[in-house]
Amino acid sequence: MRVAIDGPAGSGKSTVARAIAARADVTYLDTGAMYRAVTCKCLADGVPVDDVDRVAQIARAIDIRFGQDHRGQTVHADGADVTAAIRTAAVDRNVSAVSAIPAVREAMVERQRKLGAEGDVVAEGRDIGTVVFPDAEVKVFLTADPAARAHRRAVQRGGGDAAVDAHATADAEEEKKVLDDLIRRDRLDSTREVAPLRPAEDAVHIDSSNLTLDQVVDQVMGLIEAARAKENAHA
């Protein structure tokens, strides 16, 4: 069983995917964290993100590993814990440029498909249902209006979680900066030449702007249960 969740930045893909992994008993494959880890490594090593050859070299060589601790899922790149570092504003500003490099996507997709072949997974990103797992049993395109997405991301940077706390607040100036950055990233992700952000033709669209986390998860779980019933009927 492969569950593909695509959508723009800040739409809640990661939160939903983690919840689905727990409820559906499948492995959470955080593809976005993989591109962020490459971006983080480039910034740490002083490699300009527009230096295509050097960025691609890092993507092919980097050792990315996922783990678990009291924080939840952890991410290590070449042995260093980058769980917090990959969520910084600097990485936010540069990850779209890194992920648009064909050689970087090729390296990451190869790793993602290998992980997907090892067992049941839920993966989230921007091209999971169109490129990584085009034959996924369940495909979702998760959206939300830009203002809602900016609020969630700003709350996250402040240490909160708008998905579980409807009253969570964020600094207004920071939220405005996040909104501007999300709009810019939407444009970059949707217009890049390689694997642009777009829904798969057979994806189910879910707008999470006015939905709680549980409501979104319930909808996706319904799709998973239907897919499993179909598989059992054909077994």
CB 153 within 8 A of CB 182: yes
At residue 167, does pLDDT exceed 80?
no
Q: pTM, whole model, 2 decimals? A: 0.77
| All residues at 6 or more sequence positions from 23 whose CB lies less than 8 Å from its CB, including other chains | 217, 221
Instruction: Select 1-26+120-228's CATH number: 3.40.50.300, 3.40.50.1240, 1.10.10.10, 3.40.50.720.
Output: 3.40.50.300
CATH no. for 31-119: 3.40.50.300
Same fold, 1-26+120-228 and 31-119: yes
Kindly list the domain boundaries of the chain, sorted by start residue. 1-26+120-228, 31-119
Residue range 49-85, pLDDT digits in tens: 999 999 999 999 999 988 878 877 889 999 999 999 9
Half-sphere exposure of 72 (CA within 13 A, CB side): 11
